[in-house]
Amino acid sequence: MKNFIIIGAISMALFSCASPGTETAEATGQKFIGSIIQNDSTRVSFNVHLNENVLTFYNGVQESFNVTLNGEDTLRGTFPVFASDLWLVATEKGYEGMYYRTDAEDYELPFYLTKGELNTPSTTDEPPGQYAVMRDYGLGTIRPALLQLGLKENTLVGTIATATGDSRFLSGYSVEEGGLILQGFDGRFIYNVQASTRGDSIFGEVWTGKTGYYRFKGIADESATLEDPEEMSKLREDYTHIEWHLPGLDGDTVHFDSRNITKPTVLAIQGSWCPNCMDEGRVLEMYYREFEGAIDVYGLSYEYSGTLEKATAAVQKMERDLGTSFPMVIATYDPKQDRNSVLPLEQIRSYPTSIMLDHEGNVVKIHTGFYGPSTKEYDAYVKETREELEALVAKANG
């Protein structure tokens, strides 16, 4: 097996930059290399295009999103879906400023736009499709994961799938001597993966966000799996039905009682701060439109904002930016609230988690976590869930 992967200290040097030429940073259609500085030795870089006052961020070759800038001397923008902002000032090389999260204290990272273009080396050799790895966070905390790799447009792409979700889209490149780097930035998740291989084995490090870090090691294994997401969450022993009365986004209380429903229903445990919830929300919206009138979907948002007003605004932003139309309610809005008291689950183990009920209010399935479009499980899950909903709708129409 050919070795794949990379060395962290030289990772930035291995990216090639197109000449910035003599254009000014203010020119429309300007290309930039965006960089978020995680610490003294690591950064996450990506391509950004500026057209008038709109920045288009390219998360590798897999997705893009826009941020509209406002202001004159200091430019400010808000990322879609999440409570993440940035401010920028013009410099000779481009722009510099700060990325920060508005829902967390003291969470800001240096942010740069440098004139030019990030050109990652092309990759033609197919990497191992999957490594079964163990993540070591130190102090005896070790957890399993799957590092999934592939090629798209001759670019190395991948994701880290855990028992409850995934790191979303990562992309990078391989090195002939046996090494790779994967990076990703979606407005919320900030990932920097660096690893080396020996034969079928892999060893690496991951930096996430501002302070997250772990080491990992594993072995190539296409058949490796993680804990069954449909066995991870259980109903409490005293469960008889699901009932809640929660504030909707319009301020009115939404009442739900599973004993009174007449359609197959999905209850989605979510949060405006949760990237995997964003991916699940898009899939649920697809089903909600596809089965128009035949199923119900409710998004139950567990927020950390501290007040109902702030939580409502955050979920309204998520709803608007995702374009979802199914009803959403505020399950909790303060970390001090008991998050396990809203639904009759033993424990909420992951955001998202979805509860599927038939038209008589019986719980058919509880799915913990969500494997998004960056994972190899995604397509099968979307197909299977559609088939399950079709069967439930047919049963309801019996």
Give which of 122, 33, 60, 4 is closest to 374, Cα–Cα.
60
Q: Which residues contact 226 (CB under 8 A, 6 or more apart)?
A: 144, 145, 146, 161, 162, 163
User: In this prediction, what percent of the chain has a pLDDT beyond 90?
Assistant: 87
- Choose between 41 and 207: higher pLDDT: 207
State which amino acid sits at residue 395: K
29 — pLDDT class (breaks 50, 70, 90): confident
Residue 348 C-alpha from the chain's centroid: 18
How does strand 328-332 pair with strand 296-302? parallel
- Going by C-beta distance under 8 Å and a sequence separation of 6 or more, which residues neighbour residue 158? 147, 148, 149, 150, 170, 171, 172, 182, 193, 374
In angstroms, what is the C-alpha Rg of the chain? 22
pTM beyond 0.85: the answer is yes
| Res 257: pLDDT | 99
Residue 8 confidence (pLDDT) above 80: no
364 closest CA partner among 242, 227, 225: 242
pLDDT at 227: 97
CATH superfamily assigned to domain 243-397? Glutaredoxin (3.40.30.10)
- Residue 270 contacts residue 299 (beta carbons within 8 Å): yes
pLDDT digits (tens, 9 = 90+) for 301-321: 999 999 999 999 999 999 999
What average pLDDT does range 365-389 have in this prediction? 98
* Residue with token string 């309610």: 329
Task: Give me the DSSP letters along 330-397.
Answer: EEE-STTS-TTSSSSBS---SSSEEEEE-TTS-EEEEEES---TTSTTHHHHHHHHHHHHHHHHHHHH
Question: Is the confidence at residue 16, as pLDDT, over 70?
Answer: no
pLDDT of amino acid 25: 42
Is it the case that residue 17 has pLDDT exceeding 90? no
Half-sphere exposure of 167 (CA within 13 A, CB side): 26
Residue-level pLDDT at 18 = 43
pLDDT at 78 over 90: yes
Angle at 280 between CA 208 and CA 276, to 5 degrees: 5
List the one residue out of 139, 200, 370 whose CA is nearest residue 268.
370
Q: Which two tokens stand for residue 18?
A: 């197109």
In this predicted model, what pLDDT tens digit does every residue of 255-306 receive, in sequence order? Answer: 999 999 999 999 999 999 999 999 999 999 999 999 999 999 999 999 999 9
Q: φ, ψ for residue 304 (rounded to 5)?
A: -120, 10
Unique residue bearing structure tokens 């990325």: 99
**17 vs 357, residue with greater confidence:** 357
Amino acid at 86: L
DSSP string, 148-190: EEEEETTEEEEEEE-SS-B---EEEEEETTTEEEEEEESSS-E
pLDDT attached to residue 66: 98
Q: How far apart are CA 125 and CA 215, in angstroms?
A: 25
Residue 279: its H or E element: helix 275-290
- The residue with tokens 């391509």 is 47
Pick 261 or 119 by higher pLDDT: 261
For residue 128, pLDDT over 60 is answered with yes
- Residue 209 pLDDT exceeds 60: yes
The bridge status of strand 296-302 relative to strand 265-270 is parallel
Structure token pair of residue 51: 């057209």
Residue 224: CB atoms within 10 Å: 16
| Domain coordinates in residue numbering, the chain | 1-226, 243-397
**Distances from the Cα of 239 to the Cα of 20, 236, 349, 362, 363, angstroms:** 63, 5, 18, 11, 11
> If you average pLDDT over every residue of the chain, what do you get?
92
Q: Report the chain's terminal Cα–Cα distance, integer Å.
A: 54
**Residues 6 or more apart in contact with residue 336 via CB below 8 angstroms:** none
